[in-house]
């Protein structure tokens, strides 16, 4: 993440949180996220509305693939921050959707690991994360898996982790 390096606000936790908020707004599921040199590639299942022959609204799932450049991510982060501060009556964490919360806690974990780049996918609330690290002996990949229960436990612990 070129534009995020060196900035305390622009880290994986905040970047992934803002992408998660986008997913919640779009109603996407079963997502795959790949970091690219100039942003992220996102693929997921979204509902597409159709009109039935009896004027009933029906829908079906379609796979969507999107590319978010660094400028898009910066805009998402600004929009998410503005949205969180717009409702001062309720805590932002309480109003966040599942992907915003999940991506945020995964982003926090990723920040602690300090990878060179990331790739992960989700299915039914469980995540498989691949981190690419570069060290003195070259690059290597690390895999981690988070079950739905792991993610829910991380989400439950997140408010206490922020206070620490």
At 103-128, the pLDDT tens digits run 999 999 999 998 888 999 999 999 99
pLDDT < 50 stretches in the chain: 1-10
CA 159 to each of CA 24, 89, 95, 147: distance values in angstroms, whole numbers, following the listed order = 20, 17, 13, 20
Enclosing H/E stretch for 113: helix 98-113
Q: What pLDDT digit, counting tens, does each position of 53-70 carry?
A: 555 556 788 999 999 998
CA 147 to each of CA 62, 82, 107, 121, 129: distance values in angstroms, whole numbers, following the listed order = 25, 31, 16, 12, 11
Q: Interior CA angle at 40 toward 4 and 72, to 5°?
A: 65
| Helix and strand totals (H; E) in the chain | 5, 6
- 8 Å CB contact between 41 and 66: yes
Residue 145 to residue 158: CA distance in whole angstroms: 18
The C-alpha R_g of the chain, in whole angstroms, comes to: 17
Residue 100 main-chain phi, psi, to 5 deg: -60, -45
pLDDT of residue 162: 64
Domain ranges of the chain: 2-163
- 8 Å CB contact between 30 and 122: yes
Report the predicted TM-score, pTM, of the whole model to 2 decimal places: 0.81
């Amino acid at each position: 993440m070129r534009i995020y390096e060196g900035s305390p606000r622009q880290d994986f936790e905040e970047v992934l949180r803002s992408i998660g908020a986008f997913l919640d707004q779009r109603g996407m599921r079963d997502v795959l996220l790949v970091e690219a040199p100039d942003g992220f590639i996102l693929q997921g299942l979204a509902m597409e509305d159709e009109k039935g022959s009896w004027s009933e609204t029906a829908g079906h799932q379609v796979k969507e693939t999107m590319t978010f450049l660094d400028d898009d991510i910066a805009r998402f982060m600004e929009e998410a921050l503005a949205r969180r501060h717009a409702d001062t009556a309720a805590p932002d964490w309480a109003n966040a959707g599942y992907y915003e919360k999940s991506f945020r806690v995964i982003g926090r974990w990723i920040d602690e690991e300090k990878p060179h780049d990331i790739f992960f996918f989700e299915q039914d609330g469980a995540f498989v994360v691949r981190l690419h690290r570069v060290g003195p002996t070259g690059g290597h990949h690390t895999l981690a898996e988070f079950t739905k229960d792991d993610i829910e436990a991380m989400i439950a612990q997140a408010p206490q982790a922020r206070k620490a």
